[in-house]
Amino acid sequence: MFARTSDCDRERLKLLLDGQLPEAAQTVVARHLETCTDCRQQMETLAANENWWADTRDALSGVDGRSGSSFFDAIDSLPETGTPSVPLDFLAPSDNPAMLGKLGEFEILEEIGCGGMGIVLKGYDHELNRYVAVKVLHPFCATSAAGRRRFVREAQAAAAIVHQHVVAIHAVDANHHPPYLVMPFVPGESLQQRLTRQGAFDVIDTLRIGQQVAEGLAAAHAKGLVHRDIKPGNILLERNVERVLLTDFGLARAADDASLTRSGVIAGTPQYMSPEQARGDQVDHRTDLFSLGTVLYTMLAGHSPFRAESAMSVLRRVCDETPRPLREINPHVPEWLEAIVTKLHAKQAANRFENANEVSTLLQRCLAHMQQPTLVRLPDEVLRLVENPRKRIHWLLALSSFALFAVATSLVISTNLPRVDRNQVVETSQPNNAQVTETTDDQGWDDGLQTESEEVDRGLKQWETDAEF
């Protein structure tokens, strides 16, 4: 056992759980907890049971102190599914022995999943005779004012969006301990679970899912909300109908929210962040488009494009590195789909697509082309993306070199040929029906050279015009 040191401070642990500890101090405490058994026991007593620290330690082990991530950012990187990190002792007894317990007016049948901020339970609503999904804030997060505010914000953000590709919110009880919100029960699995189970997706399924995600994002953006945590774990796939639903708006902010512009604050899942998120810069709706590009890449490649051993290394790759070309990993990916993902992955937000509506429409038309390639052509916007300007530049350079060679050759030939006086007639020993040719200074090799030069010049200008698009 490690010896107790002067860094052990119960009050600091309380402040950490309450979300009142400065970010710099959070990093110091997190590192101290990795080596101090006594303080870990204190945390377990203050916050949760013994399993909680093991999960939290694993999440914190990859967080570099320079990243600026807060304590709750580390908590969010806990596994999406698995055994709950806390017991379900907050449930009231149920009259039905087949049930796990009761939460408010809902009978709880089973646990659906466990994430960083909460546990999702399957419940039954007797009043409306339907199954529901009840998301309960983790008790150790419920002790934090920041955790409770974020949980309520998720409910408010999702409730503001009424759309077929966004999970609706039926009710929320912020005064219950721990707080919980009620959503429709969606039979199926998350995109992350599907990826883990089957690996990479084919092109048609990728387009279909991506189009619905973009449509859901467009609905959120129309309400002025930026999701900021688009990832496979927050995309639900409804069984049988394969409808796609966006969930977990816990990081959502109104586009004009002052808290959105705070620099140095990193919130989200590192592998799916945009560069501006990773730097803690101001973000807008286009940050979700970058994350969508990462989701599409992951679906086609079978893994995230920005993998690394630590959170800091991931953020550095997001900001500075270009992912490996998709077609090198999966040769079945069409060139035009790789071009779409590349545009979504533009480091500068201004170089991405304008909005999620544009992306949704584009993916829908591409899906129609894949399903009926002889009847539906690819959109012109996609064809323009495939026409790589670099390729056109290479052709332009080749054409220029050829033109210069042709001009030089013509000059050499014209210099070595004998010139003829204006009125001189050149007669040759031809048959009787031979033509007589007259050549003058005004109509000689110079005129042919001038014409050729003009043709080349017009060709070059046309290539330059095309390259601009």
Q: Per-residue pLDDT tens for 296-315?
A: 999 999 999 998 888 888 88
Listed residues 169, 184, 199: the one ending a domain: 184
Of the two residues 202 and 158, the one the predictor is more confident about is: 202
Q: Which residue has the tokens 């509506």?
A: 357
pLDDT value at residue 272: 93
* 77: pLDDT strictly greater than 60: no
In whole angstroms, give the CA distance from residue 465 to residue 459.
10
Q: How many domains does the chain have?
A: 4
Same domain, 173 and 251: no
Listed residues 357, 386, 415: the one ending a domain: 386
Specify the CATH number for the domain of residue 357. Answer: 1.10.510.10
Report the mean per-residue pLDDT for the chain: 76
Residue 68 lies in a domain: yes
Specify the CATH number for the domain of residue 122. Answer: 3.30.200.20
* Model pLDDT for residues 218-275, shown as the tens digit of each residue: 999 998 889 988 999 999 999 887 899 998 886 666 554 434 444 444 556 789 999 9
Residue 92 lies in a domain: no
Backbone angles phi, psi at 235, to 5 degrees: -120, 115
Same domain, 142 and 174: yes
The question of whether 7 is a catalytic residue gets the answer: no
Residue 351 lies in a domain: yes
Give pTM, 2 decimals.
Answer: 0.65
In whole angstroms, give the CA distance from residue 114 to residue 85.
8
Residue 105 lies in a domain: yes
**Average pLDDT of the segment spanning 105-114:** 88
Of the two residues 238 and 39, the one the predictor is more confident about is: 238
* Model pLDDT for residues 315-334, shown as the tens digit of each residue: 899 999 999 999 999 999 99
In whole angstroms, give the CA distance from residue 373 to residue 64.
49
Residue 200 lies in a domain: yes
In whole angstroms, give the CA distance from residue 215 to residue 182.
23
In whole angstroms, give the CA distance from residue 104 to residue 102.
6
User: Are 335 and 327 in contact, with CB atoms under 8 Å apart?
Assistant: yes
Same domain, 169 and 231: no
Same domain, 36 and 69: yes
pLDDT value at residue 33: 66
Cis peptide leading into residue 178 (ω within 30°): yes
* 443: pLDDT strictly greater than 90: no
Same domain, 209 and 327: yes
* 2: pLDDT strictly greater than 70: no
pLDDT value at residue 301: 96
Residue 83 lies in a domain: no
**Average pLDDT of the segment spanning 184-206:** 93
* 417: pLDDT strictly greater than 80: no
Same domain, 179 and 276: no
**Average pLDDT of the segment spanning 209-216:** 97
Same domain, 239 and 332: yes
Marked catalytic residue, from 55, 73, 229, 288 = 229
Residue 421 lies in a domain: yes
Same domain, 199 and 295: yes
* 441: pLDDT strictly greater than 60: no
Same domain, 319 and 211: yes
pLDDT value at residue 463: 56
Lowest mean pLDDT among 35-39, 88-92, 99-103, 174-178: 35-39
Same domain, 372 and 393: no
Give residue 310's domain range: 189-386
Token pair for 398: 């080749």
Residue-by-residue DSSP string for 282-296: ---THHHHHHHHHHH
Same domain, 236 and 381: yes
Listed residues 161, 184, 207: the one ending a domain: 184
**Average pLDDT of the segment spanning 84-90:** 70
Same domain, 341 and 379: yes
Residue 369 lies in a domain: yes
